Amino acid sequence: MKTEGSCGSRTENNGGPTGAYEQLKPYLEQAMAIQTALILFEWDNETLAPDQAGPYTARVQGNLASIYQEILTGKTVGDLLGKSQREQGLSEIEQAIIREAQEEREKLACIPPDEYQKFHELAADSARIWAKAKQDQDFEAFAPILEKIISYQKKFAGYQAKDGQKLYDVMLDNYEKGFSMEKLDEFFQMLKKELVPLVRRIRESGTKIRDSFLYGDYPEEKQQELAEYLAGYVGFDFNRGVLAKSAHPFTTSLHNHDVRITTNYKERMDSSLFSVIHEAGHAVYELGIADELTQTLAGQGASMGIHESQSRFFENMIGRNGAFWVPVYPRLKELFPEQLSGIDRETFVRAINKIQPGPIRTEADELTYSLHVMVRYELEKMMIEDDFNVKDLPRLWTDKYEEYLGVKPENVAEGVLQDIHWAQGSFGYFPSYALGSAFAAQMYRYIRKKVDFDELLRQGNIGEIREILRQHIHRFGKLKDSRRLLQDMTGEDFNPRYYIEYLQEKAEKIYFSPS
């Protein structure tokens, strides 16, 4: 017999009173209010909070997380969930909210409350320590807290694991249900087999693509003006959103009327340009979730893979498409007349599609991007499933980058410290980036059959493309999982071959059959 604090616990009640879901709603609304506050603190920590606020605010975040856990794992919520699951006449949305609440309850009920609170305090502090360690290029300053983060994540996964389930599979399931290590190994092996030789072939082709003009004196205030223009152009609603600056670009959503994105501004102008389009893709997804779902546990993206499919779709299928720049490039020339003097649109488009392996994931070209993700996936498996020494991470990171991409990071800031995810405890998240890219390619193939995609971009009519995505993906929130969304939209289950074919065709056009 399981106690109240054990996994999957629920007080059984046969024939409880009607209206259980209506009684449950205020508790779920309280939980969502706490979650919204935590999201707002995370946003503040990454954008505006003063340096010395970290440890003090972390305690507040830990207490709020504890309250969130207490609400969802309490006996009253357990009773009402049990009754609601048996209640007749509930809508599809209400059933989805109950399902999500039960899943969240089962995950949280396994974890001792004091450990849950301490972890959230640790994760809030860890992000601050990571940012400083990255700035100082000092992995040793970050390693001790990373060890603690890993320890907590393994412990929590152990609490949540079903019989025989591996710890890393538990973590993967938090971000993309149904994609275990077995399935991801097969997926990444396919990418490795097809893409690594293609990258090598391109490097050996001798084809030169001019892109030196992307580096140089691009004033931050002008980059910010461009960022705001592009975000709005692709569909970001500034009446319901904010664009700010942070060390690591990200998107966060309080609800579908308050979605926030960030970017940063670098010497290479197109770095911020594409991070903004990428984050705007995330935001357009959140903004498109139905009002009936928002501020509920079902009013979020279906999965991280689907979320990344939208950001990668906007960044690559739209933003790197030459047709996109027909109406947009004149604006770019207005902002940077000296820097882009003598650079026509065709030269610019070839430059932003240049395939050149580098050390930074967020600045990677389309072809090598998933190889960056594969490095992280393989290292995460080692950290979670093997007897692993965190101090070996920089060396292993460098070894894998040399093996798969033929490059070597110059320092830990552009190596193992470049991403914030591990500092936040987000183990299992990274594979979603590669899956999302593959999901996006499958959606792209379907949409091109329905509309003249390039002509819509040439006309500046992104709204029609956005509406197709809203109808098939955005509005559903968590009503459907990733495979159901793909099946209902494209008529078939996930097929990674479309992603490989998309990359091969694009590389062939740019490098081996240039027009």
Q: What is the pLDDT of residue 514?
A: 59
Q: How many domains does the chain have?
A: 2
Same domain, 47 and 196: no
Same domain, 274 and 374: yes
Residue 9 has pLDDT above 50, yes or no: no
Tokens of residue 241, six digits: 């959103």
Whether the Cβ atoms of residue 319 and residue 279 lie closer than 8 Å to each other: no
Angle at alpha carbon of residue 106, lines to 102 and 107, rounded to 5°: 120
Same domain, 251 and 370: yes
For residue 456, give the H/E element and its range: helix 453-458
**Residue for token pair 């740019």:** 510
Whether the Cβ atoms of residue 6 and residue 109 lie closer than 8 Å to each other: yes
- The average pLDDT across 97-105 equals 97
Tokens of residue 449, six digits: 């059959």
Write the pLDDT tens digit of every residue in 14-67.
444 459 999 999 999 999 999 999 999 989 988 988 988 888 898 999 999 999
Q: What is the pLDDT of residue 515?
A: 58
pLDDT band, very low/low/confident/very high, at 10 (cuts 50, 70, 90): very low
User: How many percent of the chain have pLDDT more than 90?
Assistant: 87
Write the pLDDT tens digit of every residue in 155-169.
999 999 999 999 999
**Residue 146 in domain:** no
Same domain, 231 and 366: yes
Same domain, 198 and 54: no
**Residue 147 in domain:** no
Reading phi first (left if > 0) and then psi (alpha if -120 to 50, else beta), residue 491 is in left
- pTM, two decimals, is 0.92
How far apart CA 286 and CA 288 sit, in angstroms, is 5
**Residue 170 in domain:** no
Write the pLDDT tens digit of every residue in 241-279.
999 998 778 999 999 999 999 999 988 899 999 999 999
Residue 410 has pLDDT above 90, yes or no: yes
**Residue for token pair 């709020």:** 64
Burial of 486 (0-12, 13-18, 19+ CB in 10 A): buried
Neighbours of 448 (CB within 10 A): 12
Tokens of residue 347, six digits: 């030269």
What's 268's DSSP letter? Answer: B
Averaged pLDDT score across all residues of the chain: 93
Q: What is the pLDDT of residue 256?
A: 97
Q: What is the pLDDT of residue 451?
A: 98
Same domain, 205 and 304: yes
User: How many percent of the chain have pLDDT more than 70?
Assistant: 96
Write the pLDDT tens digit of every residue in 353-394.
999 999 999 889 999 999 999 999 999 999 999 989 999 999
Same domain, 190 and 337: yes
CATH number, domain containing residue 446: 1.10.1370.30
Angle at alpha carbon of residue 93, lines to 183 and 488, rounded to 5°: 45
Q: What is the pLDDT of residue 7?
A: 57
Write the pLDDT tens digit of every residue in 171-221.
999 999 999 999 999 999 999 999 999 999 998 888 899 999 999 899 999
**Residue 150 in domain:** no
Q: Which domain holds residue 465?
A: 181-512
Q: What is the pLDDT of residue 18?
A: 58
Look at the chain and count its residues.
Answer: 515
DSSP for 244-302 reads: EE-SS--EEEEETTEEEEEE---SBHHHHHHHHHHHHHHHHHHHTS-TTTTTSTTSS-S
Same domain, 200 and 69: no
Q: What is the pLDDT of residue 16?
A: 44
Strand arrangement of the beta sheet that strand 241-245 belongs to: 241-245, 258-263, 251-255
- Beta bridge mates, 243: 261
Same domain, 130 and 209: no
Residues 6+ apart with CB under 8 A from 433: 308, 312, 361, 369, 370, 373
How far apart CA 114 and CA 425 sit, in angstroms, is 17
Q: What is the pLDDT of residue 5?
A: 41
Catalytic positions, please?
A: 279
φ, ψ of residue 337 in degrees (nearest 5): -65, -40
Tokens of residue 179, six digits: 């994609």
Write the pLDDT tens digit of every residue in 105-120.
999 999 999 999 999 9
Domain boundary among 74, 102, 137: 137
Tell me the one-letter amino acid at 138. D
Same domain, 196 and 303: yes
pLDDT band, very low/low/confident/very high, at 508 (cuts 50, 70, 90): very high
Tokens of residue 318, six digits: 């739209």
Same domain, 87 and 188: no
Same domain, 300 and 199: yes
Domain boundary among 109, 137, 165: 137
For residue 261, give the H/E element and its range: strand 258-263
**Residue 221 in domain:** yes
Residue 307 has pLDDT above 60, yes or no: yes
Residue 454 has pLDDT above 80, yes or no: yes
φ, ψ of residue 145 in degrees (nearest 5): -75, -30
